[in-house]
Amino acid sequence: MNIKKARKIMSNLITTILFLLLILMIYIVVSTKISGGEPQFLGYQLKTVLSGSMEPTFQTGSIIVVKKTANSESLKKGDVVTFKSGPYSLITHRIKDVIQKDGKLMYQTKGDNNKHADMNALLHENIVAKYTGITIPYLGYLMNFAGSSKGAIFFLIIPGLFFLGYSALTIRKVFKEIEQRAIEAEQGINKSM
């Protein structure tokens, strides 16, 4: 394979990666703004770990992937769940006990790093998602920044400008190649005369 062909393949690869990165950043920022929180995709949500209550399972600033529960009655002891603790507050803790009381299914939860179980048992209707087992350390700091106005500028405008700049360089290179070929063709015509 010659050098020009290798450069062209690399150029196409870099362009594709930059374009996909830009699309991903747009999706993350827009879905974060629309949902008013973490982005979601196909029923999965990314949740930022804001406290150390689940350490060492989840470190503060990590992202965890949770899936909305279709049947919260099937949860069992040991499952990690995200639940409503108020109108605008979600908590992720581990189920320590399953309780049947007065015909109602309830769960006792506790943060792995907390000394005591959560004060009130949960009704199964308050559980919104179950942890999938996927954790991405430190990405939560980045996601919180992406949700801010400065983050939106950083993750949308800067990659967009980088992509446009790279595209401009690629177009400039193509024009130079066209000029060079035209010059070579003209020189070839002049030599044959």
Establish whether 74 is a catalytic residue: no
Is residue 170 a contact partner of residue 16, using CB atoms and an 8 Å limit? Answer: no
CA 144 to CA 64: how far, in whole Å?
A: 13
Strand ranges in the chain using DSSP code E only, listed in sequence order? 40-41, 44-48, 63-68, 80-86, 89-101, 104-110, 122-123, 127-136
* CA-based radius of gyration for the chain: 27
C-alpha distance across the termini of the chain, in Å: 35
Neighbours of 10 (CB within 10 A): 10
Catalytic residue, candidates 35, 51, 74, 148: 51
Q: Which of 46, 44, 60 is nearest to 111 (CA)?
A: 60
Active site residues: 51
